[in-house]
Amino acid sequence: MLSRALVDDGRFIAARDTAAIAITMTEGLCRFAYLHRHRAAAELAIGDTTAAEHDLAMALSTRNFMSGAFGDSASIVLGRHYNTARWSALVDSAQHAGTSCSNDWATP
Q: What pLDDT score was predicted for residue 34?
A: 83
Does residue 12 register a pLDDT over 90?
A: yes
Q: What pLDDT score was predicted for residue 64?
A: 46
DSSP letter string, the chain: -HHHHHHHTT-HHHHHHHHHHHHHHTTTBTT-THHHHHHHHHHHHHT-HHHHHHHHHHHHTSTT---THHHH-HHHHHGGG--HHHHHHHHHHHHHHHHT-B-GGG--
**26-48 residue pLDDT tens:** 887 777 878 888 999 899 999 99
Phi-psi region for residue 24, left (φ > 0), alpha (ψ -120 to 50) or beta?
Answer: alpha
**54-90 residue pLDDT tens:** 888 888 776 544 444 454 467 777 778 788 888 878 8
Choice between 20 and 97, residue whose per-residue pLDDT is larger: 20
Q: What pLDDT score was predicted for residue 101?
A: 66
Q: Tell me the whole-structure pTM to 2 decimals.
A: 0.72
